[in-house]
Amino acid sequence: MAETAITAPLDPLEPRHLVAPHHDDASLNETLLAHVWAKPGKGWFMLFGVTLSALGLLVIGVTYTLARGIGVWGNNQPVGWAFDIINFVWWVGIGHAGTLISAILLLFQQKWRTSINRFAEAMTLFAVMCAGLFPLLHTGRPWFAFWLFPYPSTLGAWPQFRSPLVWDVFAISTYLTVSALFWYVGLIPDLAALRDSSKTKVQRVVYGLFSLGWRGSGRHWHNYKIAYLLLAGISTPLVVSVHTIVSFDFAVSLIPGWHTTVFPPYFVAGAVFSGFAMVITLIVPARKYLGLRDVITDRHLENMNKVILATGMLVSYGYMMEHFVAWYSQNQYELWTFYVNRATGPYAGVYWLMIACNVITPNIFWFKKCRTSIPIMWVASIMVNIGMWCERFIIIVTSLSQDFLPSSWAIYTPTWVDWCIYIGTLGLFGTLFLLFLKFVPAVAVSEVKELQLELKHAAHLNGHGTHGAH
Amino acid sequence: MEATVLDSWVLAEFGTPDALVDATRQMREKGFQGMDTYSPYPLHGGSEALGLPPSRVPFIALGGALTGMCTALAMQTWMNTYDYPLNIGGRPLLSLPAWVPITFELSVLFAAFGIFFGLLALSRLPQPYHPVFESDAFRSASTHGYWLSVPQATGQDATAVMDQLKSLGATQVTLVTGEKE
């Protein structure tokens, strides 16, 4: 049933299309599912080879760590937390953009989220998996990781619930579970669409199993709509709570540079900042490769860059506040940490790289030209990711390596095992992501179809001089 | 062997979501019961046209959240205050503010389980087989088709219903029969 293209003028405040106007349901279905049915191209296999090799490094790093113990890492006294916690916080932060896009933007009825939410949610799921690996390995004997949970042990001991580290266990496992449920619930109608447009029996059976027999029934949609909205509603405070709790790991301690009340909001802003940057890093090549330019338009990219700009400013404010409070308190340890050690100490290079990437780089997005230029935004997004990694490095390593007593100071240097595991998680993330792009629609097809109908209604009304519909 | 109970449905496809919602409303006004719509995305006004009562998912979610909250509070209090009291810097054994993060997390977790399993239970999913799948054309319901099903007593003449659906603008009408769900 071909429908006529939008002919009415677009809203002057929103001059670009959210969905290219020449589509109807059937053509959207075809376009958005095409990459699942198509055989993956050379590019996909090449990338998959790269990520698989990186995953191999993870296997090597983890095996070596398990065989020899965590002494093979660069961690020492006093730097007891290093790559393991840096990467944990970095990955969790990246995950947060996914929930933000799918949940918070849904609640604010930001229609532009529809084309990118599936993508971002998948990113969340995989990033949290990578994050979880680090504290697990850091326990030293991950096969006893169940000790972290309250279970009736023969020793009669229970976890100490006043410790932020125990809060972390609950926060991260809840976050992983809820993200997975949210992602899967959103996926069910699209899995049914895959089942019904499948070409072989195997495809039909496999997608049929995962779609649970979804048939788009009105009675099901009736419950589904509210269930999806509620999941978004509970994910919103969840995402804020998760990074708040992660920041408590630091803020509750007495280490100079950690013991500040600005940590929770500043960590959440940093998480969103790095997460959106990661979405840009991944979506720019993916939309080209998957042919999704009609639904992930330049407007989506520009909006995300605006979010990067806003959260970048929040992060810069966080840095300013840290330095201000250190000065205002006149505490000699705080003063040392912020004005001497971080800016001029042994890790000053990382510190200034962090400032360049996190404070200076996002400012280019004040200019429309930079917000809409694909190469500029892609490079900037990578710089933001580097900057946010440096931030976690600075927070953790500078504060621990030089705290109160100069006699117990020590320099930290990562070993090859640290790098193997870190690069390995990038490989794990990339591998999972490529598999996701191959087997599942990267865009929420049913939501885009609904959006397209709404846009047509709205355009129709606009054409008659009335503004806004639904 | 148990006798197989058969159910029949008249399936009608409509060209646009609005036509489907309109037809559903008119059929319901004519007194047809137990109808269902099928569409690739939720229809605006679809629930009202079918005359569905408000969804029970929010109550299940609330139940989940309350269960999580009570579980977390009871667990932390019993474990850290009574069963295994630890003196941490002289802080009270019942430190309610410190219980807050886990209480919140478990409330969210249980609410999410409630929503997910509540949705599946209310929709009677997973259900890989349903008689509507007997029609090959019906496969468009998840991609670009808008369908209406009207229950029909097996073995009775469905021509009248089919004619009514056609007059409401159905582009194709079929009768399917399958095992009762």
One domain, residues B87 and B102: yes
Residue A459 makes CB contacts below 8 A (sequence gap 6+) with A6, A7, A8, A10
Among candidate residues A84, A150, A147, the one with its CA nearest the CA of residue A397: A84
The reply to whether A168 falls in a domain is no
Domain closes at, from B122, B143, B169: B122
The reply to whether A413 falls in a domain is yes
pLDDT band at A445 (very low <50, low <70, confident <90, very high): confident
CATH number of the domain bearing residue B11: 3.30.70
**Polymer length in residues for chain B:** 181
Quick: pLDDT tens for A314-373: 999 999 999 999 999 999 999 999 999 999 999 999 999 999 999 999 999 999 999 999
Is the Cα torsion angle A305, A284, A120, A26 positive or negative in sign?
Answer: positive
Q: pTM for the complete prediction?
A: 0.89
The reply to whether A434 falls in a domain is yes
B55 contacts A223? CB cut-off 8 A: yes
Q: Give the domain extent around A181.
A: 25-141+173-454
The reply to whether A286 falls in a domain is yes
One domain, residues B79 and B118: yes
Total tally of structural domains belonging to chain A:
1
The reply to whether A6 falls in a domain is no
One domain, residues B108 and B157: no
Which residues of chain B are within 8 Å of residue A177 when distances are taken between CB atoms? Answer: 109, 112
List, in sequence order, every residue forming a beta bridge with B10; answer none if it has no partner.
B150, B175
One domain, residues B39 and B90: no
The reply to whether A15 falls in a domain is no
Quick: pLDDT tens for A189-199: 989 888 888 88
Among candidate residues A185, A199, A166, the one with its CA nearest the CA of residue A121: A185
The reply to whether A262 falls in a domain is yes
One domain, residues B103 and B117: yes
Nearest CB partner across the interface for B52, out of A167, A219, A224: A219
Per-residue pLDDT of chain B (181 residues; tens, 9 = 90+): 455 566 788 888 888 888 888 888 888 888 888 888 888 888 888 888 888 899 999 999 999 999 999 999 999 999 999 999 988 888 889 989 999 999 999 999 999 999 999 999 998 888 887 777 877 888 888 888 888 888 887 767 778 888 888 888 888 888 888 776 5
The reply to whether B1 falls in a domain is no
Q: Does B37 touch chain A (CB under 8 A)?
A: yes
The reply to whether A279 falls in a domain is yes
B123 contacts A219? CB cut-off 8 A: yes
Q: Give the domain extent around B88.
A: 57-122
A215 contacts B133? CB cut-off 8 A: yes
Which residues of chain B are within 8 Å of residue A248 when distances are taken between CB atoms? Answer: 101
The reply to whether B92 falls in a domain is yes
3-state secondary structure B22-69: HHHHHHHHCCCCCCEEECCCCCCCHHHHHCCCCCCHHHHHHHHHHHHH
B86 contacts A216? CB cut-off 8 A: no
Chain A closest-CA separation from residue B149 CA (Å)? 10
Total tally of structural domains belonging to chain B:
2
What average pLDDT does range A68-75 have in this prediction? 92
What average pLDDT does range A389-418 have in this prediction? 93
Q: Does B165 touch chain A (CB under 8 A)?
A: no
Quick: pLDDT tens for B102-123: 999 999 999 999 999 999 999 8
User: Chains A, B: CB contacts under 8 A, how many?
Assistant: 198
Domain closes at, from B78, B106, B122: B122
Residue B91 makes CB contacts below 8 A (sequence gap 6+) with A162
One domain, residues B85 and B44: no
One domain, residues B88 and B171: no
Which residues of chain B are within 8 Å of residue A25 when distances are taken between CB atoms? Answer: 40, 143-144
Domain closes at, from B99, B122, B145: B122
